[in-house]
Structure formats: C-alpha cells, structure tokens
C-alpha cells in the first residue's frame, strides 16, 4: 500500500503544491471540474480536528495527573472505582469479570462513561476535559497564526521530541521480563490474514493517515517551498523515515505488551488492545509498575502531546492555506486577516469538538474516527489520481517535474499514477463499503456498546458530506461556466492558461480521439488544436 499507493500520491501532492504555489483548493486551476477534490480534502482535515485534538486533550489530562506522588490510575479506592476493580499489584488474582484500575480511570474518571451512557444521551461536556481541549486549541492557534513562520519553529520541538522519548522508553522496555516475547509477536508475520479484505483496508487507511496523503497538508506546505526544492528527495526520505518510525515505535510498544502479558500470565493478544485503550489503558498500566513511574508517565504523555500537536498543525494548516489562497482578497484587505482566519477555524473546530468530551463522547469520537477519514479519504485520493493522470495529463505533469527538478519521472511513477494507484484505491474503496459492519465499541467497564441504526446512518452522512463535494462541484462548475457545452467541458478539464484560447475559438473539442495538443495525453474528452 505504501509502495504502490501512498508514495506515488505523496510525491504527486508535493509536485502540485510546489509547482503551482497554492493550497489544496486553488491548485485545481489545472482542471477546474475537480475543484471539489480540494474542498473535500479540506473538509476531511477540518473534521479530523473535531476528534483528533480530543485525544491530545486526553494526553494533556494524563500529563497533568502524572504530577502526583501516586498515579491516580493505580488505586481502587477512588470514587469512580467499582467493586470489580483490581490493580496491577494484584494482577495475578484477577476477579471474575474484573476491570483494571487503569481501565476504570480512563473510562469512568476521565471519560465519565457508565452503563447508562449512549450516543443518544451524551450529557454535558466534562469541564476538566473542556479545559484541556481549550488548552490544545490555544496552543494550535499560537502555533499557526503566523503561518509557516510560526509553525515551522514549533515543529523543531514537536517532531524531534518523540524520538528522544521513544529511545528512552525502548531501552527501559528491553530490560523488562517478557519483552523478547512481545517483540517476537510483533515481527512474526501471519500470512493467512492477507485473505481478509479488512486488513487491506486498514493498511490503506493507516498508510495514508501516516504519510498524510489526501488531507491537503502536503500541497499546502509544499506551496511554500522554493520552486527548485528537491521534493522528490523529500518524498522518499519522509516516507522512509515515517515507516521506520512506525516499526521503531512498534518495538517500544510490544516490549511493554510482552512484559504485561508475562506479568499477568496471559497471551499477548489479550493485552494488545486497539484504539485508545492501547495508549490510555495498557501503556499507563505498564508504566505504573516501573520504578519512578510518575517520571515515566510524565515523559510518555509529554511525547504524546508533542506528537499529536505536530500532526494536528499539518491538518489545520491545510485548511488555512487553502482558504487563504482561495480568498486572498480577504487576507490582503485585513491587516490581521491570517490571525482572524486562524481564530475562526480553531474556534469553530473547538466548538464542534465539545460533543466528544461529554459523558458518552467516546462513542461520538469513535464514529467520527470511523467515518470522517476512512473510506472518504480513499475516495478523494482516488479522484485526485484520476484527475492528474487522466485529465491534466501525465505528459504535462512530467513536464512540470522536469522544469522544476531537472529530470523526468521513470516508468514506475508513470504506471503508478495512471494505472496502479487508481486501481488499488478503487478496489479498496469497494471492499471497505462491501465489508462494512455496524459499529460496536468495546469497553472494559460498561460492556460492549452497539450503535443504533440511526447512528450508523449518521456516520455515512458524515462520510458522504465530503465525498459528495467532488460530483457536486463538478456539476456546478459545468453549469456556471459560460459558453457552449463543448466549451464548458473543454474549459473545466483544461489548465487555466488554456481557457482564453478555448473561449476565443482557437480550439475545439473532439470526443474519444487521441490528442495532439501539447499539454494532454489521453482523456475522455480531448482538446485538439485547430
């Protein structure tokens, strides 16, 4: 998925942003009919800010709670604990249907989750989480309000700090009993799982999330690069470092999971939880049994905060740059236009995020996480590959790269852009929809929560709200462009520098004919010089 999907489209986005010097919306002056792709990418990034920053707020909550003599999730005598609670100290004698003190702290003390909660009964926002969430958005605002001048400086801390902390945690984790078993579990392949379509869908979503393709962030940041910056090198280095970091962090995590499994005398599968349970239940429990646990906890959650802020800045910068470029007149008219725009985007995202810090907010967060940027991001990236490879044209795109970088992409890039990546994405999109199962959220203290049918329908509305922008904007562009239908179509699938010639009658449209026009290769409709 990385080699044939994420890397080619990552490089494509860097080229688009760096060559055309605009954000994710305005860049589609190369083919206006696909402007909805940029809008969809920005909307998805905006949606992600609703729930991703809540996870950072949880990390901030834990970070503050770690400044105590005894970590609060290591005890069972608190108001939020149940009679089924057990601690890491007595993990060898787990009661029937018992729940760990770390799970009860996360689900009951932090989230306020109980058996009466449900997505239809969210309740009021929890004030402690609201303050943490507000703190996260305030940090993001001051990191972004001056554009890349401010965010670029912050990234020096947020991008490098996790490597230092992970290295320290790995050294400590390798010294624990059971670490070897955990690492072996991590690196031992299970080839039979490749027959499961959900594995491929998860791989695609994960790598696009991890690399960041499809969110508009790379187009935004690349638009600030120098024109001849070697974005090809940047693409390969970033993708390589990204995957190496994932593997490295896997060693760190599974060394502790192996330790937990050995200590509780259970299989690693039973402690290797997915989702927030891994970060906010399993890892705090593993840290709590280490000497000087409070120090380790402070270090770990500080790392999570910096790591989260780094990703959150990229997503919001994609939105800010796209709006700034599309409505540059507003920014130029107002002295503090960038600051006002940043305040509006961060402020509204904060208000929408409040739904996820209520007593049942975890159910809303899980729904946003499943639908906002799952199938939707793959759908948008699919159309991005089609738009560049089949309408803007590979020949023109390769000419842009040669003019900017001094070389033409070889056959691997061409084949991926035109055939392999779109086909891969299309198959994954169809598989993800066909293999969809109604949402179920598993908790340790309140049992499994099955989402009602209307909640699943709402989730698909969220997913569709971004995907529908692609056809809706295409129809709007065709209907609002002056001229005959041939001219409308010709203008909207052509770069902006060809529009004057098209509208003046110097070019005409011929259907299903191989083009000799210098900026295009093949397409459904071709512009042919008279």
Residue 474 belongs to some domain of the structure: no
Q: Does 369 lie in the same domain as 260?
A: yes
- 320 marked ligand binding residue: no
Q: Does 506 lie in the same domain as 449?
A: no
Q: Does 177 lie in the same domain as 140?
A: yes
Q: Does 214 lie in the same domain as 73?
A: yes
DSSP one-letter code for 358: B
- 310 marked ligand binding residue: yes
- 456 marked ligand binding residue: no
The domain boundary residue, chosen from 445, 468, 491: 468
pLDDT at residue number 103: 87
Residue 73 belongs to some domain of the structure: yes
The four Cα atoms 46, 478, 16, 53 give a dihedral, to 10 degrees, of: 0
DSSP one-letter code for 421: H
Q: Does 486 lie in the same domain as 454?
A: no
- 489 marked ligand binding residue: no
Q: Does 260 lie in the same domain as 149?
A: yes
Question: How many Cα atoms occupy the beta-carbon half-sphere of 462 within 13 Å?
Answer: 24
Q: Does 512 lie in the same domain as 451?
A: no
Q: Does 330 lie in the same domain as 411?
A: yes
When computed from its CA atoms, the radius of gyration of the chain, rounded to whole angstroms, is 25
Residue 475 belongs to some domain of the structure: no
Q: Does 361 lie in the same domain as 510?
A: no
Residue whose C-alpha is closest to residue 385's, from 214, 204, 220, 206? 214
pLDDT block averages, 10 residues each, the chain of length 530? 91 96 94 96 96 96 93 89 79 69 90 78 91 97 79 71 85 90 94 86 83 90 94 94 91 88 81 74 82 89 89 92 87 81 96 94 93 91 95 94 95 95 90 86 80 95 96 96 90 87 62 34 32
**Total domains in the fold of the chain:** 2
pLDDT at residue number 169: 84
Residue 151 belongs to some domain of the structure: yes
Residue whose C-alpha is closest to residue 213's, from 430, 416, 434? 416
Residue whose C-alpha is closest to residue 111's, from 452, 445, 459? 445
Residue 448 belongs to some domain of the structure: yes
Is the Cβ–Cβ distance between 6 and 209 less than 8 Å? no
- 242 marked ligand binding residue: yes
Q: Does 488 lie in the same domain as 464?
A: no
Residue 296 belongs to some domain of the structure: yes
Q: Does 107 lie in the same domain as 196?
A: yes
Domain of 306, in residue numbers: 2-468
Q: Does 461 lie in the same domain as 485?
A: no
User: What is d(CA 397, CA 225) in angstroms, rounded to the nearest whole number?
Assistant: 18
The domain boundary residue, chosen from 415, 435, 468: 468
């Amino acid at each position: 998925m990385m080699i044939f999907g994420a890397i080619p489209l990552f490089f494509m986005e860097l080229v688009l942003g760096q060559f055309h010097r605009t954000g994710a919306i305005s860049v589609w002056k190369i083919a206006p009919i696909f402007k909805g792709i940029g809008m969809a990418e920005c909307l998805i990034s905006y949606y992600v800010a609703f729930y991703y920053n809540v996870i950072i707020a949880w990390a901030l909550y834990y970070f503050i709670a770690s400044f105590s003599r005894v970590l609060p999730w290591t005890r069972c005598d608190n108001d939020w604990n149940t009679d089924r609670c057990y601690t890491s100290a007595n993990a060898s004698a787990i009661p029937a249907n018992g729940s760990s003190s770390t799970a009860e702290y996360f689900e009951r003390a932090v989230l306020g989750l109980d058996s009466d909660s449900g997505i239809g009964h969210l309740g009021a926002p929890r004030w402690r989480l609201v303050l943490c969430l507000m703190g996260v958005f305030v940090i993001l605002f001051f990191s972004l309000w001056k554009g890349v001048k401010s965010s670029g400086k912050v990234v020096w801390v947020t991008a490098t700090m996790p490597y230092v902390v992970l290295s320290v945690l790995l050294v400590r984790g390798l010294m624990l009993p059971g670490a070897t078993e955990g690492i072996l579990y991590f690196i031992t392949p299970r080839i039979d799982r490749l027959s499961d379509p959900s594995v491929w869908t998860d791989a695609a979503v994960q790598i696009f999330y991890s690399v960041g393709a499809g969110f508009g962030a790379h187009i935004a940041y690349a638009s600030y690069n120098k024109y001849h910056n070697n974005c090809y090198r940047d693409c390969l280095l970033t993708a390589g470092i990204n995957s190496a970091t994932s593997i490295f962090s896997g060693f760190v995590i599974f060394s502790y999971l192996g330790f937990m499994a050995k200590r509780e005398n259970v299989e690693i599968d039973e402690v290797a939880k997915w989702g927030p349970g891994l970060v906010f239940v399993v890892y705090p429990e593993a840290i709590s049994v280490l000497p000087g646990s409070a120090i380790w906890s402070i270090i770990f959650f500080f790392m999570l905060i910096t790591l989260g802020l780094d990703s959150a800045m990229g997503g919001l910068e994609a939105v800010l740059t796209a709006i700034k470029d599309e409505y540059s007149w507003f920014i130029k008219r107002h002295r503090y236009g960038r600051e006002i725009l940043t305040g509006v985007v961060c402020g509204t995202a904060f208000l929408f995020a409040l739904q996820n810090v209520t007593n049942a907010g975890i159910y809303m967060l899980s729904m946003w996480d499943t639908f906002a940027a799952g199938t939707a991001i793959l759908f948008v990236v699919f159309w991005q590959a089609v738009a560049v490879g089949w309408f803007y044209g590979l020949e023109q795109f390769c000419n842009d790269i040669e003019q900017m970088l001094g070389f033409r992409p070889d056959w691997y890039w061409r084949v991926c852009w035109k055939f392999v990546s779109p086909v891969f994405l299309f198959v994954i999109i169809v598989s993800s929809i066909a293999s969809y199962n109604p949402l179920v959220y598993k908790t340790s203290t309140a049992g499994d929560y099955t989402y009602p049918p209307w909640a699943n329908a709402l989730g698909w509305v969220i997913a569709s709200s971004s995907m529908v922008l692609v056809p809706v904007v295409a129809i709007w562009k065709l209907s609002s462009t002056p001229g005959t239908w041939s001219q409308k179509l010709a203008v909207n699938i052509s770069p902006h520098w060809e529009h004057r010639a098209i509208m003046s009658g110097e070019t005409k449209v011929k259907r299903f004919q191989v083009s000799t026009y210098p900026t295009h290769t093949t397409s459904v409709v071709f512009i042919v010089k008279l």
